[in-house]
Structure 1
Amino acid sequence: MHLPLLLTLLTLLTLTLAATTTTDLYKILQLDKSANDRDLKRAYRTLSKKYHPDKSSGDETKFLEVAEAYETLSDPTTRKIYDQYGHDGLANHKRTGGAQQHNPFDLFSQFFGGGRGQQGVRRGHDMEVKLSIPLRDFYTGREVPFSLEKQQICDTCEGSGSADGHVETCSRCNGRGMIIQKHMLAPGMFQQVQSHCDVCGGQGKTIKKPCKTCGGAKVVRGRIDLVADVEPGMPRGHRIVFENEADEHPDYVAGNLNVVVDELAAKIDTSESDEARRSRNDGAFFRRKGPDLYWKEVLSLREAWMGGWTRNLTHLDGHVVPLSRGRGEVVQPGQVESVAGEGIPSWQEGHVHEHDEHHESHGKLHVEYVVVLPDQMESGMEKEFWSLWEKWRKKNGVDLLKDSGRPAAVVQDVKDEL
């Protein structure tokens, strides 16, 4: 370790020791005095990974506090002194030479099989899972619970792989995990080949009594429960990162679990009643494109031509968006109406934007109108419509073939349409 880094660590350690003289060591590890050795190891494993300086979210001061607290409480002698005499007793014990100062990063290395140096902390591979949620959750935001199966450190043997807790140094490789073998290529010519030790499998340790739960593997498969925080407006395909929640192993720090949030495909239950289907707001009838939402609204011929109608559209969070046309206002088939502020909430870099004069807080809602024509008309209605149509066509009709360049099927002296 370089001298400047060593001096920095010693300074931080001195400050940490001063700070811990006023802080309860059990509280630093988030435990109470009844904690056993297994509780201490679990607390240290969790907190040291959380605060390790090599991580973006690390805190070197807290990392050193956790290391100091664990080192003190994991030793039966110093724990007994601390429980009886507190910090003053520990300080006196250290002054009389009863305890030695250790590098907290060496402790981390011993505990996890990694360390801090040129290669940093040894990490496992990241994992990725997909979480499908309805469009409604992208709009409103939601805490989504989910479960997955992954590799976990065996609780029975606490990751040692040994039933009795005894792990011995491999006699073949002397703990190096590697062996060197000589192969004769020709008389007087030899080649040295380095390979993993075939006795310990490259671990450098051997176990006489394997753990019955994990069979000496140190890890088991099990399910864990997590909660993904989906924020309003979060884009489809966004990755929510759970640090150090990938496959665990005592020889390395677990990688990250990346949860890809995807949109659940719209599905309509045909057994639903018409009333229930009309009141749906889970996104089955909405479509999303970026910050905007799209909706199709069906109008009858009378509504599209004559106007005088009102619709109440139930949005994804349950609030109502009114749509209407006054009497005499015509809606063309395929016409699109854009309603500002009724789209997806704006989201960027992990936060929802507040509304201001330069940035809209929501996208737009685009309503496309679909006009449905009647399949047939009664004879009386047909005669009345035809008579009325003929009257207004002669007065206000237009020639649709005039500019088309196509020949007329029948020579007409009247105009074609209104």
Structure 2
Amino acid sequence: MVKDTKYYDILEVNPQAGENDLKKAYRKLALKYHPDKNPAAGDKFKEISHAYEVLSDPQKREIYDRYGEEGLLGDGSGGMGGMNAEDIFSQFFGGSMFGGGSSRGNTGPRKGKDLVHSLKVSLEDLYKGKTSKLALQKNIMCPKCDGRGGREGAVKQCSTCNGTGHKTVTRQMGPMIQRFQTICPECNGEGEQIRDKDRCKECKGKKTINERKVLSVYIDRGMKEGQKIVFNGEGDQGPNIIPGDVIFVLEQKEHHSFKRRDDDLYTVIKIDLITSLAGGKAFLQHLDDRYLEINILPGECIKPGEIKVVEGQGMPSYRHHDHGNLYIRFEVEFPRPHFISDPSNFSILEKILPPRTEQRIPSNAITEEVIINDVDPMQEARAEGAAKGGRGANGMAEDCDDDNAPPGVSCAHQ
């Protein structure tokens, strides 16, 4: 009687199943759950392959029947170890049934690693588009020996490991059989042997050489931070390897005037008091070097910190014809102290501007007249820092107050 029937249950056979029964069961389940046919069944496929590997080996099956999974832990077969599931499938069927090939050994090429690089770009580049020439170092198959590593006919498959690059060592330890793999000492894990005199002088037998490759990287209008530009198959080449991709990840540099959020732009413009009150023009240099002429109507009275929008003047949408919006926060610059030299001109201002707001205090309030004086910048900074709860380095106030800024906007100067 067997101690554990788990592996038999996975293959859907009874513990008395013979070799042919095991083969039929494995064939049926492997075809049903192979990842090339059923991508979501990768773990199930590995379970089936591992169960078949154990039960198809008479020695392993005997140990499993007597001791269960615990008995296999010492021989490299427990815990989903042992042979690769694709290798078992390939050996059983003589190659992939779905055209994909195995990912290990001599059953087919494997995909190489992708090479990922960060590419810093300006906001102007993302607005206008740009093509950059970027050089990188990569491995390519040696053109002198066509990637063989030596002259034609001189490269021999290692007779010790039969080209696998490793040896399987079996060791008897009482009732247990321990099996493990080591690197083949004859070929140092290469699976091939080349005499020194036959090695390629260009690649020294390594089959690949280093090459400098220049790529033209096109940054399309409207691309964003973190977006990827992929060059398929431009990664390192190597024996039995499908080259990976070269991937550039965009990293936007900070801009001195504009902030970006999705396809919208945010900026700050300073205007003088007369333009705020009586109207006028303000000019803004855009990311493509155009100057936007911003007309402020007489009497519009732009308040400090007020936000206006210019529709359709934001970032271009990636691979679309529309644009985001441009949001402008206005900072109103007041005139210097005592700019009116003739006191009679104050009466003119009194007539033009809205009337003063009447301030009312209780009739029995005690009043005291005080005089305000200028303070030096350091005192002013400390006073503002204290008022803001010490915000800023060393208790100093920040240079500007962004509380009224639209999202993503901080003070900037034109």
* TM-score category, normalised to shorter length: 0.5 to 0.7
Q: How far 1:151 sits from its partner (Å)?
A: 2.6
C-alpha change, 1:242 and 1:310, in structure 2 (3 Å) is: same
Task: Name the residue aligned to 2:356.
Answer: 397
- Whether 1:123 aligns to 2:107 is no
Distance 1:159 1:409 in 2: 96
- Please give the per-residue CA displacement for 1:329-354, whole angstroms capped at 9, x wherever unaligned: 3111111110111111122xxxx224
Distance 1:384 1:262 in 2: 59
Distance 2:344 2:250 in 1: 57
C-alpha change, 1:312 and 1:389, in structure 2 (3 Å) is: closer
Secondary structure class of the residue paired with 2:315:
strand
- Whether 1:353 aligns to 2:320 is yes
Task: Name the residue aligned to 1:324.
Answer: 295
C-alpha change, 1:400 and 1:330, in structure 2 (3 Å) is: farther
Distance 1:317 1:301 in 2: 29
C-alpha change, 1:409 and 1:221, in structure 2 (3 Å) is: farther
- Please give the per-residue CA displacement for 1:83-107, whole angstroms capped at 9, x wherever unaligned: xxxxxxxxxxxxxxxxxxxxxxxxx
Q: Is the 8 A contact 1:314 1:321 kept in 2?
A: yes
Distance 1:377 1:236 in 2: 49
Pairing 1:2-401 to 2, within 5 Å after superposition: 116-117=100-101, 119=103, 121-162=109-150, 166-183=154-171, 185=173, 191-208=178-195, 209-266=198-255, 284-307=256-279, 309-347=280-318, 352-354=319-321, 361-378=322-339, 380=341, 383-384=343-344, 386-389=346-349, 396-399=355-358
Distance 1:410 1:325 in 2: 42
Secondary structure class of the residue paired with 2:138:
strand
Distance 1:408 1:324 in 2: 49
Q: Is the 8 A contact 1:313 1:321 kept in 2?
A: yes
Secondary structure class of the residue paired with 1:370:
strand
Q: Kindly tell me the number of residue pairs found equivalent between the two proteins.
A: 268
Identity percentage of aligned residues: 30
Of stretches 369-378 and 242-251 in structure 1, the one that deviates more from structure 2 is 369-378
Q: How far 1:244 sits from its partner (Å)?
A: 1.2
Secondary structure class of the residue paired with 2:302:
coil
Of stretches 313-322 and 291-300 in structure 1, the one that deviates more from structure 2 is 313-322
Distance 2:366 2:192 in 1: 96
Distance 1:408 1:248 in 2: 89
Amino acid at match of 1:327: P
Q: Is the 8 A contact 2:142 2:207 kept in 1?
A: yes
Q: How far 1:365 sits from its partner (Å)?
A: 0.7
Distance 2:136 2:341 in 1: 67
C-alpha change, 1:332 and 1:172, in structure 2 (3 Å) is: same
Distance 1:231 1:245 in 2: 20
Distance 1:369 1:303 in 2: 11
Distance 2:284 2:193 in 1: 69
Secondary structure class of the residue paired with 2:242:
coil
Q: Is the 8 A contact 1:161 1:214 kept in 2?
A: yes
C-alpha change, 1:325 and 1:216, in structure 2 (3 Å) is: same
Q: How far 1:124 sits from its partner (Å)?
A: 1.0
Q: Is the 8 A contact 1:163 1:212 kept in 2?
A: no
Q: Is the 8 A contact 1:157 1:165 kept in 2?
A: no
- The structure with more radius of gyration: 2
Distance 2:237 2:141 in 1: 6
Q: How far 1:217 sits from its partner (Å)?
A: 1.8
C-alpha change, 1:380 and 1:157, in structure 2 (3 Å) is: same
- Please give the per-residue CA displacement for 1:261-303, whole angstroms capped at 9, x wherever unaligned: 121233xxxxxxxxxxxxxxxxx42221111011211111222
Aligned CA RMSD, in angstroms, stands at 3.4
Distance 2:167 2:271 in 1: 81
- Please give the per-residue CA displacement for 1:111-159, whole angstroms capped at 9, x wherever unaligned: xxxx733657511122211111111121122222212222332233322
TM-score by length of structure 1 reads 0.56
Q: Is the 8 A contact 2:109 2:240 kept in 1?
A: no
C-alpha change, 1:142 and 1:336, in structure 2 (3 Å) is: same
Task: Name the residue aligned to 1:77.
Answer: none
Q: How far 1:190 sits from its partner (Å)?
A: 5.4
Amino acid at match of 2:257: F
Secondary structure class of the residue paired with 1:343:
coil
Q: How far 1:370 sits from its partner (Å)?
A: 1.2
Q: Is the 8 A contact 1:401 1:408 kept in 2?
A: no
Distance 1:190 1:369 in 2: 82
Distance 1:200 1:169 in 2: 9
Q: How far 1:164 sits from its partner (Å)?
A: 6.0
> 5+ residue gaps in structure 2?
1-26, 28-36, 38-98, 370-414
Q: Is the 8 A contact 2:277 2:298 kept in 1?
A: no
Q: How far 1:384 sits from its partner (Å)?
A: 4.7
